[in-house]
Amino acid sequence: MKFLSIGLLVILLAFAPNSGFKTNQLKNQRVKQAYANKQSTIDSILKRHQLDVSTIQIFIRVFKAERVLELWAKDANEEKYKLIEKFDFCSFSGELGPKRKQGDLQTPEGFYHIDRFNPWSSFHLSLGINYPNSSDRILGYKANLGGDIFIHGDCVTVGCIPLTDDKIELLYLLAVEARNNGQLKIPVHLFPFVMNDRNKQVKYLANRTNAGLIEFWKNLEPGFRYFEENKVLPRVTVNSTGAYQFR
C-alpha cells in the first residue's frame, strides 16, 4: 500500500502544473516590474477572450515578410486556439528563407518551441527558440549551425525577433503563465510569409530560380494550412531527410 501511494504521488506530480515557475520568475526585478506594468492589460485581454489565467496555454506564429508575430491562446481543456494579440517586429535582419549557419543573419523558418526564459537578457526580457531543431541539424551547415535565437525586447537584431521592451513584457508574462500551468513546450511556428494562394504565387515566382528554397517552403505549407483551417496544432515530426511531416 505504501508503494502504491508513492507511485500515485509520482504520477500526480508529473502531471501537476509547474506552479513554482512563476514564483521563481518573480524573484527577478524585471519580471516583477513587468507584472506591475502589464497586469491590468493581461486581465483585460483574457477577459475579452474568455480565458482563465490559471489554465491558459499559448501558441506563437510568426510571418517574416509581414514582420508580425501572432499570439494565440486557449484553455488547457480545449483544443482550438483563438488569436488574442499581434505584435509588429521592431527590426528585421536577413531575408526570406531558413537559417542554415552561424552569422547568416537569418531568422529561422520551421516548427520550434520556447526552450528558455531569460529575465536577465541584454534586451530586457527574452524567450529562447530551440534552433537548431532536428530539421536544421540535417539540412544546415553542420560544422557551424549557430544558435541563440530569441524573441526579445529592444529594437536591434542579427536574426532574432525584437518587439520593443514594452511589447515583450506582455508576451513574456503570458508565456510565464502558460509555463506555470504546465505547458513545458510553447510552440513557435515561423513562416516566411502568410502562405495563402496569392502570396505563394508571388513569392514562388520571385524565387523561381531557387528550387531548393521553394521545395523547403512547400514542405512548410501543410503545417500552415492545418492550423489555419482547424485552429488546432498539427503533430510535427522530422524524417531522415530533414523534411517536416504532419498528422
Q: Which three cell numbers stand for residue 167?
A: 511589447
Q: At what angle do helices 29-48 and 165-180 cross, to 10 degrees?
A: 80
Closest C-alpha to 179, from 14, 11, 17, 15: 17
- The answer to whether 83 touches 72, Cβ cutoff 8 Å, is yes
- The answer to whether 81 touches 181, Cβ cutoff 8 Å, is no
Closest C-alpha to 217, from 184, 244, 177: 244
C-alpha 84/C-alpha 228 separation (Å) is 15
C-alpha 139/C-alpha 132 separation (Å) is 10
Burial status of residue 212 (CB atoms within 10 A of its CB: 0-12, 13-18, 19 or more): exposed
Amino acid at 40: S
Q: Which three cell numbers stand for residue 153?
A: 525586447
Active site residues per annotation: 152, 160
Q: Which three cell numbers stand for residue 227?
A: 492550423
Q: Which three cell numbers stand for residue 40?
A: 491590468
Task: Count Cβ atoms below 10 Å from residue 3 Cβ, excluding itself.
Answer: 7
